[in-house]
Structure 1
Amino acid sequence: MGLERCLEDHELVVQVQASMTSESRFLFRKNYAKYEFFRNPLSFFPEQMLLQTFLNSSSYPEVQGYLYVKETGRKSWKKLYMFLRRSGLYFSTKGTSKEPRHLQLLADHEDSNIFTVISGRKLHNAPTEYEFCIKPNKVRTEQKELRMLCAEDEQSRTCWMTAFRLFKYGILLYQNYKIPQPRKALISHFSTPVRSVSENSLVAMDFSGRIGRVIDNPVEAQSAALEEGHAWRKRSQRMNTLGSPIIHVTQLWFHGRITREESHRIIHQQGQVDGLFLLRDSQSNPKAFVLTLCHHQKIKHFQILPCEEDGQMFFSLDDGTTKFTDLIQLVEFYQLNRGVLPCKLKHPCTIVAL
């Protein structure tokens, strides 16, 4: 059926397995977006629909909007105005009316789970690629009991699916998010002494003089970042005179000869959060590479072109303004500096599904 969902931290794997069919299986995969709505709620919900109202108030806000609904027992889809409330998911039988006599219950989230649908266009003739499904817990294989839904875009689908989880689990989701935090802090305390600093606490510094100073002017900060890129390149030339054009193949973020569509699928699987990235071979230019980056739940592609200077080959994604001897140097630089990208490289999309 092409259904997939991420288990919640409070769920017991044995109980979930007991309700699965023989064709179903578990996959262990990194999901950066699982609790992203707690860190960055405005990326998931409209500004007026603050996340705290889900968690702290006695009344729950209403999520509403148009969705495509697959008609039971048929291949056709109908566009209906939907309402997600504490009591369940409803659709209006009369336009956008929310009068009780015009609302009909489509699914109860108390005894159901929400799934992402893989290959919805192919399997269910979905009108868009952004299909999801509400599946009653008692149902195993009866497709007629499944509620197939389809959104216009990824942001809309994520909003509906996240709201469903919040309505279903409430404060339990927040507890799942907060409880592991002290344990993570304890582990990092005893692990290798790598300094971890919040991105919001980082400032641009100028160390060209006898003492360092904070750079307040954003234009000057950008200029300093470019200078750092040139200095980085010079240091790498001294440390690695020969360079290595294939050193990147050992990195988990390098996916080799995959298509643009395949890169989208991998990004989707590991959660569409800002800064999730991978590198791959370019399909249009055999000597070039492509940086695939997620920003604001949209996937963007940046071509990395080779360029030659003084007989040495470099890589650049800003038309030669900032050059690097290999792709590892390039990735490390853009993990610290945004440069021409919409955001820094934060989360490597690994080639191994963890």
Structure 2
Amino acid sequence: MMEVAGPWMEVFEGSEMTEASGGAETLLGSSTLTLAPLVADSPSVRRSLPIRITLNRAKGTESFSSSVPAIPNPFPELCSPSKSPVLISSLPPPATNKHLIKVYGEDSHSRSVWVSRAATAREVCHMLVQTAHCSDQENWALLELHPTLGLERCLEDHEVVLEVQATWSLKGDTRFVFCKNYAKYEFFRKPMLFFPECMISDSADVSKGMTSSELIKNLLKSGTCPEIQGFLQVKESSRKAWKKVYFFLRRSGLYCSTKGSSKEPRHLQYVADLDDLNVYTVVNSRKLYGAPADFTFCIKPFRNPIRTQDLKILCAENEQIRTCWTSAFRLFKYGKQLQCNYQLSKSAPRSLEGTKLPDDKSKSEASLVAMDFSGKAGGRVIENPTEAQSAEREEGQAWRRREALRCSLPNVNSGARPSSIHKTQPWFHGGVSRKETQRLIEKQGLVDGMFLIRESQQHAQCFVLSLCYKLKTKHYLVIPCEDGGRKYFTMDDGLTLFIDLLQLVEFHQINKGILPVCLKHPCVCVAL
């Protein structure tokens, strides 16, 4: 219904008019719109003037809502949310609960990936393995790195990535790094290497006829950890000097003794709650914090952004002591969850291969056995360790004779296998320094058999094989030499010769030679 009164008045349906004293009209409904001329009719030319319409809304009435339909967008495919130049096809569907995170590779290049709100570190690593086309799917980890403070830690497989990112400071340079970590669960495989007897607390129950090694194995299988004790150098944020203090790590928390190594309750001082902290490895601690040694770690509350005043920095005497403390912190905090993560990490690759391996052996170790092919009935497995070592020495001595014979054949093309083939291998790291080499191996896990080859900075045309053994990094010089007019490489003064570095690595993956352990895990840097 529409009523026209006079030349300019329009009353829409739903309006309510009432006459007040003096005949004035008052608008009572918010849906009423009245237009009336401000001046009387005049035969002169009318001109449009701005008109200010004031609506008197009564209390409790609803706001004005137009019934005019919205004009549809004729080109929706050219528009994107928030006027962003990014095409809609590159964004996740609005119905999915996805969030964007940035992950860096070890070459400082980054990749942005969409993850769900509840995505764990294991799931993000699996996604990056598929995206980066990694050759293997095992032993990858997500690292939380704080470059300015020199802190880094490996996220546990079950940790939610977005919850960890929410604790970061907006102004900081914290980042996620995708890298290898072979030692994430190594303490389950070799507990005595990570928990020496001298660091196990006297309060551990060893009175039931169990040795310390059996006690540690039983505790780890149940997802618990023995109590740890020992001296550590400590630095408070308000002090520049370091002080040697005796610490105790128990299920109830971290304590320090105020009187030497006394563990009497009156001498114990409470330091931190394990459920409310994270443990980080400190990089370049001598320069950043004036640490007395390089084996430094720190603990901080995980609910707050990292600040220097919140850090409690501790320094150990050697790598084994530091690894023992950091492993014990993880076990006491997460307990049975780490045992479940370890079982999942073992079951994931086996489901692809369909093989069952012993708990203390990796897939590469179990696939290499000593064999004897001298009999007529075929090969046999050498089970006697002494006989196996003798066969290994004979194989090493025969290697040079076989290669010399092969290279002397007339149909062998000397250029078929160039000497620069090592540059394409993942274990070759070019001219990286000795200090950076140790840092790379420490970050990817101090496990026996981890190795890389680099160019020597002190000897021209020489290379260095860096190998991890018993939580220490050893370096072996690879020297070029000539024999019969051909160029070879050797590590034992010419006793065993190799035509290139690839052959050297392949040989020592099966035979120890002069090395304390076979080459097992290449230290690689993935590019995202």
Q: TM-score, normalised by structure 1?
A: 0.91
Q: Alpha carbons of 1:180 and 1:61: their partners in 2 closer, same or farther (altered >3 Å)?
A: closer
For residues 105-151 of structure 1, give each alpha carbon's deviation from its aligned partner in whole angstroms, at most 9, with x where no partner exists. Answer: 11111111100111111111111111111111233143222211110
Per the TM alignment, residue 263 of structure 1 is displaced from its structure 2 partner at its CA by 1.0
Give 1 or 2: higher helix fraction.
1
Distance of 1:240 and 1:328 partners within structure 2: 17
Match of 2:394 among 224, 231, 252: 224
Note the 1:197-216 alignment, pairs <5 A.
199=365, 202-208=368-374, 210=376, 211-215=378-382, 216=384
Q: Paired residue for 1:303?
A: 477
Q: Is the 8 A contact 1:206 1:224 kept in 2?
A: no
C-alpha distance in 2 between matches for 1:352 and 1:159? 28
- Counterpart contact for 1:71–1:78, Cα < 8 Å: no
Corresponding residue of 1:3 = 151
C-alpha distance in structure 1 between counterparts of 2:338 and 2:363, whole Å: 26
Contact 2:258 2:268 in 1 (8 A): yes
TM-aligned CA deviation for residue 219 of structure 1: 5.4
Tell me: higher relative CO, structure 1 or 2? Use CA pairs within 8 A at least 6 residues apart: 1
Q: Is the 8 A contact 1:290 1:302 kept in 2?
A: yes
- CA-atom RMSD in angstroms: 2.3
Match among 161, 181, 186 for residue 31 of structure 1: 181
1:332 to 506, 514, 517: 506
Deviations 1:199-251 (A, max 9, x none): 35744223245443445425532332214523652476366534422111111
8 Å CA contact 2:392, 2:511 repeated in 1: no
Paired AA for residue 183 in structure 1:
A
State how far apart, in whole Å, the 2-side matches of 1:343 and 1:220 are.
Answer: 16
Residue segments in structure 1 that go unaligned for 5+ positions in a row: 191-195
TM superposition shift of 1:88: 0.7
Note the C-alpha offset of 1:351. 3.5
Match of 1:252 among 421, 426, 443: 426
Per-residue Cα deviation, 1:158-177 (whole angstroms, up to 9, x for no partner): 00000010000111001001
Query: Residue 269 of structure 1 corresponds to which residue in structure 2?
Result: 443
Please say if residues 179 and 525 of structure 2, whose CA atoms lie closer than 8 Å, have aligned partners that are also in contact.
no
Query: How is 1:125-144 mapped onto 2 (pairs within 5 angstroms)?
Result: 125-144=290-309
Alignment partner, residue 288 of structure 2: 123
Return the letter of the residue paired with 1:122.
K
Alignment partners' CA distance in 2, 1:89 and 1:346: 36
Helix, strand or coil at the partner of 1:187: helix
Give the secondary-structure state (helix, strand or coil) at the position aligned to 2:239: coil
Q: Does 1:241 align with 2:406?
A: no
User: Equivalent residue for 2:486?
Assistant: 312
Equivalent residue, structure 2, for 1:20 = 168
- What residue in structure 2 maps to residue 286 of structure 1? 460
Aligned-pair distance for 1:284? 2.1
Report the equivalent of 1:85.
250
- Do the aligned residues in 2 keep the contact of 1:55 with 1:170 (CA within 8 Å)? no
**C-alpha distance in 2 between matches for 1:207 and 1:57:** 44
**228 and 69 in structure 1: CA distance in 2 versus 1, 3 angstrom threshold:** same
| 1:349 corresponds to 2:523 | yes
- Give the match's secondary structure for 2:279: strand
| CA distance 1:206–1:234, shift in 2 (3 Å) | farther
For 1:337, what is the secondary structure of its paired residue?
coil
CA distance in 2, matches of 1:286, 1:131: 34
Q: Whole-Å Cα distance in 2 between the matches of residues 247 and 213 of structure 1?
A: 35
Partner letter of residue 109 of structure 1? L
Partner of 2:193: 43
1:76 matched to 2:241? The reply is: yes
Q: Would the aligned equivalents of 1:29 and 1:270 in 2 still touch at CA under 8 Å?
A: yes
Cα distance in 1, alignment partners of residues 390 and 516 from structure 2: 19
SS at match of 2:177: coil
Please, what TM-score do these two structures have when normalized by structure 2? 0.62
Structure-2 change in CA distance of 1:54 and 1:325 (3 Å):
closer
Change in Cα spacing, 1:328 to 1:201, as seen in structure 2 (3 Å) is closer
* Residues 52-201 of structure 1 mapped to structure 2, 5 A cutoff: 52-56=218-222, 61-189=226-354, 199=365
Q: Structure 1 residue 352: deviation in Å?
A: 3.2
- Tell me the equivalent position of 1:193: none
Aligned AA (1:116): T
* C-alpha separation in 2, matches of 1:206 and 1:166: 44
2:502 and 2:250 mapped to 1: Cα distance?
48
CA–CA distance in 1 between the matches of 2:330 and 2:363? Answer: 31
User: Is the CA contact (8 Å cut-off) linking 2:223 and 2:335 kept in structure 1?
Assistant: no
Q: Answer whether contact 1:291 1:303 (CA < 8 A) is retained.
A: yes
Distance 2:418 2:404 in 1: 15
Separation in structure 1 between the aligned mates of residue 241 and residue 336 of structure 2, nearest angstrom: 37
Change (3 A) 1:351 1:236: farther
Distance 1:353 1:109, change over 3 A: farther
Deviations 1:289-324 (A, max 9, x none): 110000000110111111211111111111111111
Partner Cα distance (1:219, 1:111) in 2: 50
Greater Cα shift, 33-42 or 237-246: 237-246
CA distance in 1, matches of 2:217, 2:281: 22
